[in-house]
Amino acid sequence: MNRFKKILSLKGFPIQKAQKDLESILSISDADFQNYNENRRDQILNFHVKNNSNYSSFIKKTHYNSWNEIPIMTKADLQKPLVDRLSKGYKLPKVFVNKTSGSSGHPFILAKDKYAHALTWAHTIWLYKQHGIDMNFSYEARFYGIPRDFVGHQKERFKDILANRHRFDIFDLSETNLHKFLNLFQEKPFDYINGYTSSIVLFAKFLKEQQVVLKSICPTLKLCIATSEMLFDEDRALLESQFGVAVVNEYGASELGIIAFENPKGDWQLNNQTIYVEVVDQDGYALPNGQEGDIVITSLYNKAHPFIRYQIGDRGVIDEKSTPQNQILKSLTGRTNEFAILPSGKKVPALSFYYVTKSVIEDAGLVKEIKIVQEELSKFVIYYKAESELNQDQKQSIHKAVDTYLEKGLLLIFERKEELERSESGKLKQFTSKLES
């Protein structure tokens, strides 16, 4: 047994059994897969109805005529002590405990039984291997957050050593620190980059300024995995150009593992091995492939804690060409709870506001990152990280773009920052509204 799997086994996660079971799931034919998946979702539902008092109180009834009638769970429904949410027979010392990043506004502590967590890892190992990354040996350049307290910081650094990865401090993305990042790539034989999209995009912009293609100084580099934040087409092109390797888009959540992962064909393949993914309308009814709706997910193997028809907080579309065994995520259209309300009453997705300003600002060539805060109905503050202030012509161009694509008469305030504020996990929340719902 190699090092990574040995560590998981020593911590009580049955990784060998999980990998064997995953192989069995992957071998199910397309003709049989739908029945298999629906049986698994029914089994986990029945288990939690019988063994989880918190869930049985939430669901209220023990019988529904169809799966579509099962109530949708949200993060707000889980804002209670973890010990009150565990299933019968599962105690805190015997489960894997983690917490979400809180980027949705509803952070909470979560639990997985050790088999379910091992299966999540087995699935991740399988996905990475499709792109030539062996998690047992490949050296990872990790652009993630890290706890700031001493004990948490040291614990995470120790885990990084065991997992064969080096963590870059994304809380300090100053030019001085980016030069240190570059030096590390010259010194260490990294196999792949894995990290928050905003941080690795900022690093790529720095490389472009330095006229450096990363693979030219780190020839072992094979892949870049962008995760946790939206990856725009022009950012992908920048990453591919400046890193000199393929870019893979990952969509996941702490409580569920990987939800969708780009396969070697370039399709965003949904995980239907360990979870059951639906796109539903406002009443919780599953929509036909090709239609946009709320993404809800059922964790098929986690007996310690129920995630059944759990609303992740995103909207998306499942591709019409999907089959039961090979589901493709056609598009991910952002958080359901992130939108800007304009004085006219018009509601626009937050990403559309961010995207309009981003595209214009970056044409100036000076801006590294932006973050937008809606302070009032017609007042938006645009924080940006740049070497110098935007001039009046540049600001006017942004005003014109906002007038054209969103609405006229909005007050835009520009504020340059040395560093933009990130969440505790290190994510850059691109849009925030301070309006009361």
Closest CA to 145 of 227, 218, 213: 227
Query: How many angstroms separate the CA atoms of 217 and 299, rounded?
Result: 42
Helices and strands of the chain, counted as H and E runs: 12, 19
pTM comes to 0.84
Concatenated DSSP letters for 66-106?
A: SGGGSPPB-GGGG-S-GGGTSPTT--GGGSEEEE---TTS-
Buried b (16+ CB within 10 A) or exposed e, 167-193: bbebeebeeeebeebbeebeeeebbbb
Contact 156, 146 (CB under 8 A): yes
Burial class (CB in 10 A: 0-12, 13-18, 19+), 314: buried
Contact 158, 147 (CB under 8 A): no
Q: What is the pLDDT of residue 105?
A: 47
Give the total residue count for the chain: 437
Query: How many angstroms separate the CA atoms of 339 and 315, rounded?
Result: 12
Q: Which helix (H) or strand (E) holds 22?
A: helix 15-26
Instruction: Return all residues near 5 (Cβ < 8 A) that are at least 6 apart.
Output: 15, 16, 136
Which ranges in the chain are annotated with CATH 3.40.50.12780?
3-138+222-335
The architecture CATH gives domain 339-433: 2-Layer Sandwich (3.30)
Q: What is the pLDDT of residue 138?
A: 94
Instruction: Return all residues near 266 (Cβ < 8 A) that are at least 6 apart.
Output: none
SS (H, E, C) 44-62: HHHHHHHHCHHHHHHHCCC
Query: How many angstroms separate the CA atoms of 261 and 269, rounded?
Result: 5
Q: What is the pLDDT of residue 334?
A: 64
The pLDDT tens digits along the chain (437 residues) read 567 788 888 889 999 999 999 999 999 999 999 999 999 999 999 999 999 999 999 998 877 889 999 999 998 888 788 999 999 999 998 999 987 755 544 557 899 999 999 999 999 999 999 999 998 899 999 998 777 678 878 888 888 888 899 999 888 888 899 999 999 999 999 999 999 888 899 999 999 999 999 999 999 999 999 998 888 889 999 999 999 999 999 999 889 999 999 999 999 999 999 999 999 999 999 999 999 999 999 999 999 999 999 998 888 999 999 999 999 999 987 655 567 888 998 877 676 777 778 777 766 557 888 899 999 999 999 999 888 898 898 899 899 989 988 889 999 999 999 888 887 767 788 888 888 65
Which ranges in the chain are annotated with CATH 3.30.300.30?
339-433
Concatenated DSSP letters for 170-190?
A: TT---HHHHHHHHHHHHHS--
Strand partners, 249: 226
**Which of the listed CATH numbers 3.40.50.10300, 1.10.10.10, 3.40.50.12780, 3.40.109.10 matches domain 3-138+222-335?**
3.40.50.12780
